[in-house]
Amino acid sequence: MNHNRFLLGNTALLLLAAAFYAGHAKAADLAQGKKLYEANCFACHDSSIHTRKETIIHSLSALKKRVQFCESMNKLGWSDKQKDDVVAYLNGAFYKFK
């Protein structure tokens, strides 16, 4: 019985640690997103594109798709994490989607 309790306790602890790590591993790096945006996107358009009235971005999903599109068209070779960082930066700085 104690052996089962030991295994159950360790399994629960392992799952908790994995969930904690996964949440932090996915956390966006806003500074990295800003750096990538300024180095790769600012040459074609400045930040006013994100504040114009006739925006085509009306949701977080649309913002993600647009970043993916621009990254692909410019053949930047960003990882999913880098794209997430740029999305998080743009959302935090301009769009404020939940």
Tell me if 37 is assigned to some domain: yes
Structural domain of residue 71, as residue ranges? 28-95
User: CA–CA separation, 2 vs 38, rounded Å?
Assistant: 57
Query: Does residue 3 lie within any of the structural domains?
Result: no
Residue 82 lies in a domain: yes
DSSP symbols for 6-65: HHHHHHHHHHHHHHHHHHHHS---HHHHHHHHHHHTTTT--GGGGT-TT-S--SHHHHHH
pLDDT tier for residue 27 given thresholds of 50, 70 and 90:
confident
Domain annotation covers residue 51: yes
For the entire predicted model, the pTM comes to 0.72
Q: Write the CATH number for 38.
A: 1.10.760
Candidate from 24-38, 46-60, 81-95 with smallest mean pLDDT: 24-38
How many structural domains does the chain have? 1
Within-domain flag for 5 = no
pLDDT digits over 55-70, tens only?
999 999 999 999 999 9
